[in-house]
Amino acid sequence: MLRGLHYQIRQPQGKLIRVVAGEIFDVAVDIRSSSSTFGRWEGVRLSAESHELLWVPIGFAHGFCVLSEFAEVLYKTTDFYAPEYERCILWNDPELRIDWPLPSAPTLSAKDAAGVRLRDAEAFP
């Protein structure tokens, strides 16, 4: 399973990510158009065993893929979820070239399959 590259363009959220069961590969993509690192991504493995956390600041899209049989992921956010402002960037945008550690094509939700390329997405200033 893969959860696409999500963010809220209005009412943006910073996210603290923690895995309480299983393991994931977690990705944050800089989508601040004025940033010198615009379009760059970082990925990290998080697991219940490692107890590590990932901070995803406002201005970044976030996604993850599950590496174990299942995973439980907890988010602590700086603002409430507002589905009307949520946007999604394609997990496999060829310009981002994210190196997802997947053995085969992932299972996607309809929302994640309908994501747009970064060049067509609403970005932060």
Encode burial over 57-75: b for 16+ CB neighbours within 10 A, e otherwise. Answer: eebbbbbbbbbeeebebee
Residues facing 72 on adjacent strands:
21
Task: List the one residue out of 33, 91, 36, 28 whose CA is nearest residue 60.
Answer: 28
Catalytic site residue from 7, 51, 62, 75: 75
Distance CA 46, CA 35 (A): 26
Known catalytic residue: 75? yes
For the chain, how long is the longest CA-to-CA vector? Answer: 39
Q: Which amino acid is at 37?
A: T
C-alpha pair distances (Å), 5 with each of 23, 32, 50, 51: 18, 14, 24, 23
Catalytic site residue from 6, 51, 62, 81: 6
Known catalytic residue: 51? no
**What positions carry a catalytic annotation?**
6, 75
